[in-house]
A = this chain, B = another copy of it.
Amino acid sequence: MELAPRPRRLTQEERSAETRARLLDATIQSLVEVGYARTTTTRVCEIAGLSRGAQIHHFGTRADLLTSALEHLARRRIDEFRAKVESVRSNGAEPRGAADPRGAGLDLLWESYSGPLFIAALELWVAARTDPDLYERLLPLEREIGRQIQEPWLGLADDASEPSPAARDLTQLSHHMMRGMVLQRILNPDDRQRRRQFDLWKRLSGAANGAPGNASHEEEKP
């Protein structure tokens, strides 16, 4: 009888990375389940099955844990998003309806807004409104997330290699729209009306794409 190969022991570095990831995943889970105010470090440690000592070692403060968790999830979602956008752009195979890559891009954006990332971000944004420390931490992170989500998407929305100012404004309108939709969804989970409104927005923004833009345009912020 052959023995299964003995699992390799994790290195110190691997164990550390695993502990960090467990704490960060637990933080997002807590933000989504009970919201910002009740996401205490104690609760996060309980969900993660780790000691307070481990948490303090990796993330000194609650604010550190919260913004690191958002960054951690954002990286994963942005990677997924880039991969899907790339797939739409390169072969038109995914998702269905890629005969309209711009519409497919809007579907991907909505998929991204519908998940836990934006719920976690929403909890932190609203808390940051009245918490200057959190605000200072969140601001650069959200700008970076915004930039990274916008770049691959703009490539779909606009044929030009450099997106026009009008295409950037349309993209920002899409973001505003979807954030507003997620907010409404809190009190009204039925997506049927939003689906119809979303389709209307696809038609309106599709028709507007390529329209002449404005001359001056600054870098987009978060």
Contact = CB atoms under 8 A, between A and B. Distances in A.
Given A173-B204, A187-B221, 6 more contacts: A128-B187, A176-B176, A179-B180, A183-B183, A188-B222, A196-B214
Contacts of A176: 176-181, 183-184, 197
A37 B39 CA distance: 12
A186 B34 contact: no
Interface residues of A, number: 52
A125 B186 contact: yes
A132 B204 CA distance: 37
A6 interface: no
Interface of A: 33-38, 119, 122-123, 125-131, 135, 138-139, 142, 166, 169-170, 172-173, 175-181, 183-184, 186-188, 190, 192-193, 196-197, 200-201, 204-205, 208, 214, 218, 220-222
